[in-house]
């Protein structure tokens, strides 16, 4: 490995590593693990959505008695949920800062429920068997479950 010091930042290059720039990476070494991190996040989202579908009656994921289809659907819906959280959720969060402040952060649960609703709508567009029936009870409870499961699984994955 070679290292160079540029204005106090140490850049470490592995021998044979490709010269590419990684956006949104905290360190140069994190660039090489970025595809694996994305895959782990998709799996975490898929498991969280699956748990929410098991616990909440109004959330359906996959076809009953078809395990392979359900796993594939969970992974694709997890990817859709992750993409929505990366693109849409920050915009919603910024636009709703006054509500978040007034409710002491509880409005973030509503934003997570909106993300579940958006994911359900997009899954319907793609013909995937994922549906959230009722916004208020099903989506809110599902958002809480998805948040807790995602948080707990993120603790198990090394940074």
Average pLDDT over residues 58-77: 86
How far apart are alpha carbons 142 and 110 in whole angstroms?
11
With both helix axes pointing from N to C terminus, report the angle between 34-55 and 67-95 in degrees, rounded to the nearest 10. Answer: 100
Asked whether residue 16 carries a pLDDT value surpassing 70, the answer given is: no
Residue 152 domain-assigned? yes
Question: What pLDDT digit, counting tens, does each position of 108-125 carry?
Answer: 999 999 999 999 999 999
Residue 25 domain-assigned? no
> What residues make up the domain containing 90?
32-156
Total domains present in the chain: 1
Residue 38 domain-assigned? yes
pTM: 0.76
Question: What pLDDT digit, counting tens, does each position of 20-59 carry?
Answer: 444 444 444 555 678 888 899 999 999 999 999 999 999 9
Q: Are 109 and 91 in contact (CB under 8 A)?
A: no
Residue 51 domain-assigned? yes
Residue 15 domain-assigned? no
């Amino acid at each position: 490995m070679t290292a160079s010091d540029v204005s106090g930042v140490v850049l470490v290059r592995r021998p044979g590593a490709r010269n590419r720039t990684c956006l949104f990476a905290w360190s140069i070494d994190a660039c090489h693990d970025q595809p694996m991190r994305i895959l782990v996040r998709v799996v975490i989202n898929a498991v969280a959505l699956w748990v929410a579908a098991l616990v909440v009656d109004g959330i359906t994921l996959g076809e009953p008695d078809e395990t392979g289809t359900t796993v594939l659907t969970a992974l694709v819906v997890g990817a859709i949920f992750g993409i929505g959280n990366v693109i849409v959720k920050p915009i919603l969060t910024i636009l709703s800062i006054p509500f978040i402040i007034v409710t002491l952060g509880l409005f973030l649960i509503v934003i997570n429920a909106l993300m579940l609703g958006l994911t359900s709508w997009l899954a319907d567009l793609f013909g995937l068997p994922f549906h959230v029936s009722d916004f208020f009870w099903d989506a809110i409870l599902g958002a809480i479950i998805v948040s807790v499961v995602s948080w707990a699984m993120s603790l198990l994955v090394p940074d």
